[in-house]
Chain A
Amino acid sequence: MATLALGVVVAIVTLARRRSLSELPSVGYLLGAGGCLLVAWTATVLEHIFYAQALNVIEHAAYAAQSLLLVGWLLKLPRPAPEADGPVP
């Protein structure tokens, strides 16, 4: 339950800073991975209340999806480009 609460806080902060994050390449994969993690944590909490078996599968599927999306993000990251020179007005 505490993990889910912390996760929600992180998600809110992420939404507040989405403008800066949107400048990064393939950031959708990363945000997708974060979303999967939230789903997994939610399923972990809910499985103690109802549909234990189904929610357990969803929890582990979300963890697996998160791992795949993170790898996808790493694959999409570009190679380093030459640095721009000097300040400009």
Chain B
Amino acid sequence: MTVLALEVVGAAAILAGLALLLRRKLEVPQGLRWSVAALLTILLLQHVTDIAELLGVGWADAVSDLLAGGLPFVWAILLLQLTELGHERRSRQQQKQVASLIKETPASVAVLDQDGRLLRVSDHWSKRHPKTEVGKALIEVLAAAPEGLATGVSECLAGEGAQRRVAVRSDDGGWWDWSVSSWSRGDDSKGVLVILEDRTDEVEAELRRDQEREELAQAQRLALIGELAAGTGHDLNNLLTVLRCHMDLLQMADDDPKSRAETFETLEQAFDMATELTKGLLRLARPTSQEPPEDVDVARSTEHLVRLVERTLPRHVDLDYRGPNAAVVVRIRPSGLQQILLNLVVNARDAVKADGGSIVVEVKATPEHVELRVSDDGPGIPSHVIAQVFSPFFTTKGEAGTGLGLSVVRKIAEAHAGTVDVSSPPGRGARFIVRFPRRAKPSEALAS
């Protein structure tokens, strides 16, 4: 009796389930609906045959066993379909999460399809670009497409690069970084992710730092010129004395044409030397920030500068120049080369000036590089500070030094794709080597 009641309850439940499946709209695909219907039908038939068996119908037992044998197969099909459904559901949920993430991300983000059309954008993006509409091409929604962005998008779509960055200045004076990267859509096609990042504060801070560095370098340069001016002033004074004396000689001179010609020649030479001295100083004092790089013969420029600088050195310091006769050309701002040489020579002078010594400036050329070497025979640099000598504001001269000289040297060298190295064997002085890439084909102007 209990068993019969259980079978009746089961059959009633299955009947209710079938009615539910037929009448109610459920979130199940059509294939799954059929599988569930088949399962419920088999179960209903099984309950009915079980009831019939309990009521003494002869064939019911065999039919019930047959139906029971089909049940695992129907369950297997049903579970496979449910697994697929679960997989799709999870995938859809992930899509929703990503969509929500993009929408709410606090940055300007746009996702493009393989045709460069907008698929999704963040709220931040929509506020910045009011014309934004999903389905439109990126270029259509931008008031002014920054240079390089369209190319970056095309390259990413063509798979020619995973990522591109384009820094642009907007109309309102801000600095923006466009980052364009490709993403795989999972069906062999590629889309593009565009991120617009406001870098105004960062870029302006960097510009301010650059300006401050430039001003410091300029101040340091002027300090060097001040040191040179003292020595040059002494030379100039000597030349003026020569001029004065010879002008007096001219006034007193007799009419001997030979003697007058000699005096005029001496005057002319003195004038030329004075002019050369003042020109040299003026060249050094010229503002440098806007000066473009040009092809410079390092050998000739270095030799001229060494001749100018050697007038400023104490008598017990020898300055010697060794370099090739042929032109060795480097692409550099001329004032940059001067500043490098002045800093290195002044440092060498400070190293040797206590008890005298010698400084050697050399220019060496290889097929690929041009080296500017400045060596002295002073006490050298202590090994515990040698790693710091290029750091800004590091000095061993106390109050007398600014600590900028060698950091400026390195900055100028690196700005021209060069390097600077220092070596100082104990007790054998110091040697600085500044290395620049050599210009294989100097400009015609220099060649001429």
Q: Contact residues of A with B, CB < 8 Å?
A: 2-3, 6-7, 9-10, 13-14, 17, 19-24, 27, 30, 34, 37, 41, 44, 56-57, 60-61, 63-64, 66-68, 70-71, 74-75, 77-81, 84, 86-89
Contact = CB atoms under 8 A, between A and B. Distances in A.
Contacts of B40: 70
B25 A74 contact: no
A69 B82 CA distance: 16
Contacts of A23: 86-87, 89-90, 93
A87 B7 contact: no
Given A44-B68, A70-B43, A88-B111, 4 more contacts: A23-B89, A24-B82, A67-B14, A70-B40
B73 interface: yes
A89 B193 contact: yes
A17 B16 CA distance: 29
B95 interface: yes
Contacts, number: 140
A67 B79 contact: no
A42 to B, nearest CB: 12
Contact of A20 (B17, B43, B83): B83
Range of interface residues on B (Cβ < 8 Å): 35 or more
A61 to B, nearest CB: 5
Contacts of B71: 3, 7, 37
Given A74-B17, A79-B25, A24 B89 contact: yes
B86 A6 contact: no
A2 B69 contact: yes
B49 to A, nearest CB: 11
Q: Which 7 A-B pairs have the closest CB atoms?
A: A6-B72, A20-B86, A64-B10, A23-B86, A67-B10, A67-B13, A71-B17
